[in-house]
Structure 1
Amino acid sequence: MAIGYACQTLAVPKTDLKHCLLKNADESTLLQVGAYNLEHLKNAITYAISQGIQIFRISSDIIPFASKSEIKFPWESRFSEKLNLIGKLINSGGLRVSMHPGQYTVLNSPHPAVVENSIADLAYHTKFLDSLSLGSNHKVILHIGGIYGDKSEATKRFCQQYRQLDQTIKNRLVLENDDKNYTIAQVLDIAKETGAPVVFDNLHHELNPSPLLRTDAQWIAECKKTWKSQDGRQKIHYSQQDSEKKKGSHSATISLDPFLDYVSKLEIQDLDIMLEVKDKNISALKCMYCLYPPQDKSILWREWERYRYLVSERNLFSIFEIQDLLGVQDNTTSVTFYRMLENILRQEPEREQSITTAKELFNLFADQTTAQEKTRFQRALHRYREAEISLPSLKKQIKNLCEKYSVEEVTTSYYFQ
């Protein structure tokens, strides 16, 4: 069972992506943004492989406006060296990647222009993965689309349009149930017509269940039948509802015990699980280390160093409890460690302890700062103590300084997440 995350990598410098407006998308801008994004994609992939993460979703925005007919930018030839390098990195590192077009890629739309644009978008996603010289097990995930007042007709349109797609696109496409229109049972019926494999999404199923009463494990077993050898290992999407936001909103982090309970009930263990969660790689590592406790004791210590400042602004005494736990590691340590962290991080930061933590961080690079920066930081501390600014505002100032002075100990921690 492999664990992965989607698109954005947190607390890893130089992995962010740039965007641009369509009105500014001349060749020079696209060349600059595309080169930046590919370099940062390489950094994200290098990080994922170094951490033992086996699946990763590449953002559709990696090459801006690449599927727009009005934009004539030969990105394949311009970036051929970078693409070749990234592809070799993925293949040699045993990483499996995917892409997931957005909500406007709708094959079953009754409007020909929408369908035409959707096909162009699927062609771009396919071409991007092809440009990396990746096999057909690296997939493009697609929802069925809308209902448009007649689900039966909309389903027929989808199947008709799917059959007319270029085979290179069909080789990569995987269909997914959604949270409003198409249940997992309906997507499986469409898969029988098209021959496409199916990804099961647990939160979408929770919000838009099939009337057929089956467990998630049973639906996943049904989806397994749609995956052929050339498609690679079966894949599912797993997420949890954010209790404070509208239905369908992904949680800030994956709560460990519900996740472990979920995977323990699965009949199929040979799965790729894509986590859809706000804290991305942070949850991926948590889930991975709890399913497969690391034998190298330094790995949990390394993770602890990334969490330490978040803990210290909440409960100073917990630092010693966690360090005692990590001092005598066994196969149960990972789960205990992350349960402790979850309990601590549910607490709100204490104001005075947050100030102490902020001072500790500032002192790591204080001798490099200007007099003006020192004054500005002291003023921010005072304003935070008086509740005139928020903790995120104080942290933003610290983050800017840490990035300016390359304080890797802090920029690679989870303090700012």
Structure 2
Amino acid sequence: MRIGYPCINRTLPCRGPRTFRLRSYSPERFRETVAGNLECLEKVLRWNAAHDIGFFRISSDIIPFASHPVCRFPWPRVFRPVLARLGGIIRRHGMRISMHPDQFVLVNARSERVFADSRRELEYHARLLDLLGLPLTAKVQVHVGGVYGNKPASRARFVERWRQLPRSVRRRLVIENDDRLYTVADCLEISGQTGIPVVFDCFHHQLNPDGSETADALRRCAATWRRRDGLPMVDYSAQAPGARRGAHAEQIDRRDFGRFLQTTTGVDFDLMLEVKDKERSALAALRSVGRSRSLSRRGKPDIIGRGQSG
């Protein structure tokens, strides 16, 4: 098991990626921003390695407007040496990387224009992971999308659109159960038609259940992951006290997290903590997991070679 957190390190001065407004785009502004973002990412990766944190979600904003028509800057060529160095750090420490595009990415959108925009955004994510030289265990995680008044038709449209995505995207794409629309059972039905792995989000399963217990839902999701995909990915969070339903907690609750670990005993997976204090909860979780089960903190280097297709 690796344990990680998403996008921002609150301990380091640089914290996370910077962006800018589309109207202020210029090649110079873009180059300066991306260079700064990649420099910050390197600091975060090195900090994670020093603290045995082996799982990290890279922000989609690391390359601002990468999929937008305004961006004509040849960033893959210009930043290739930097990305290769970052990928070397990741592989050397046996880290796992994921990305989670914003919710405007809708594979099953009714609009062809929205789907085309979503496709370009997914192509950017997959290309970035490829440029980092990461194996197919580095995933791009999305929600299924909207229901549009007809869930069966919308599920079918996701499957149809998934088949239209380029192979570079399909081999990295994974879906998760969400907190309102698509349950674990819905995602498993899509997986059965596409082979797409399912990320189990335990908090979303509490908010939007399909009638199955946590342990059973986790096992069914884990069964969708093939060897080339790496260990199953699981998202963990909890309800923020006094906040709107579905708001993520500031930090992990030790008791609730302990119960989660007991419930999931017997299944090996990589755990993403979707809590607001980021790396602080990741460090606390490492201590809790180390006491309760065998933990490979940095994980083993992925056995699938760089650029290997599947």
Query: What TM-score does the superposition give when structure 2 sets the normalisation length?
Result: 0.92
Query: Is 2:231–2:270's contact at 8 Å kept on the other side of the alignment?
Result: yes
Q: What amino acid is aligned across from residue 81 of structure 2 in structure 1? A: E
Query: Using the alignment, how far apart are the partners of 1:255 and 1:15 within structure 2?
Result: 24
Query: Is 1:4–1:55's contact at 8 Å kept on the other side of the alignment?
Result: yes
Q: What amino acid is aligned across from residue 97 of structure 2 in structure 1? A: V
- 1:295-348 deviation per Cα after TM superposition (whole angstroms, max 9, x unaligned): xxxxxxxxxxxxxxxxxxxxxxxxxxxxxxxxxxxxxxxxxxxxxxxxxxxxxx
Aligned: 1:224 with 2:242: no
Query: Using the alignment, how far apart are the partners of 1:146 and 1:129 within structure 2?
Result: 26
SS in 2 for 1:16: coil
Q: What amino acid is aligned across from residue 24 of structure 2 in structure 1? A: N
Query: Using the alignment, how far apart are the partners of 1:273 and 1:97 within structure 2?
Result: 12
Query: Using the alignment, how far apart are the partners of 1:10 and 1:286 within structure 2?
Result: 15
Report % sequence identity: 38
Aligned: 1:250 with 2:248: yes
Query: Using the alignment, how far apart are the partners of 1:16 and 1:223 within structure 2?
Result: 31
Query: Using the alignment, how far apart are the partners of 1:69 and 1:247 within structure 2?
Result: 37
Q: What amino acid is aligned across from residue 77 of structure 2 in structure 1? A: S
Query: Using the alignment, how far apart are the partners of 1:281 and 1:231 within structure 2?
Result: 25
RMSD between aligned alpha carbons? 1.0
Q: Which residue of 2 aligns with 1:6?
A: 6
Q: Which residue of 1 aligns with 2:261?
A: 263
Structure 1 position 267, deviation (Å): 4.0
Structure 2 stretches lacking a partner, 5+ long: 292-310
Query: Using the alignment, how far apart are the partners of 1:244 and 1:125 within structure 2?
Result: 35
Query: Using the alignment, how far apart are the partners of 1:266 and 1:237 within structure 2?
Result: 13
SS in 2 for 1:250: coil
**What does residue range 26-41 of structure 1 map to in structure 2 within 5 Å?**
26-41=26-41
**What does residue range 307-318 of structure 1 map to in structure 2 within 5 Å?**
none
Q: What amino acid is aligned across from residue 290 of structure 1 in structure 2? A: S
Structure 1 position 224, deviation (Å): 1.3
- 1:70-107 deviation per Cα after TM superposition (whole angstroms, max 9, x unaligned): 32121111111110110000000111000000110001
Greater C-alpha radius of gyration: 1
Q: What amino acid is aligned across from residue 124 of structure 1 in structure 2? A: Y
Structure 1 stretches lacking a partner, 5+ long: 294-417
Structure 1 position 252, deviation (Å): 0.6
Structure 1 position 13, deviation (Å): 2.4
Q: Which residue of 2 aligns with 1:88?
A: 88
Q: Which residue of 1 aligns with 2:98?
A: 98
Query: Is 1:221–1:268's contact at 8 Å kept on the other side of the alignment?
Result: no
Query: What TM-score does the superposition give when structure 1 sets the normalisation length?
Result: 0.69
Q: Which residue of 2 aligns with 1:134?
A: 134
Query: Using the alignment, how far apart are the partners of 1:69 and 1:178 within structure 2?
Result: 30
Query: Using the alignment, how far apart are the partners of 2:155 and 2:257 within structure 1?
Result: 33
Structure 1 position 2, deviation (Å): 2.0
SS in 2 for 1:141: strand
SS in 1 for 2:3: strand
Count of residues paired in the alignment: 291
Q: Which residue of 2 aligns with 1:360?
A: none
Q: Which residue of 1 aligns with 2:206?
A: 206
Q: What amino acid is aligned across from residue 236 of structure 2 in structure 1? A: Y
SS in 1 for 2:264: coil
Q: What amino acid is aligned across from residue 92 of structure 2 in structure 1? A: S
Structure 1 position 244, deviation (Å): 1.6
**What does residue range 145-164 of structure 1 map to in structure 2 within 5 Å?**
145-164=145-164
The ranges of structure 1 where at least 4 consecutive aligned residues each deviate by more than 4 angstroms after the TM superposition are none
Q: Which residue of 1 aligns with 2:238?
A: 240
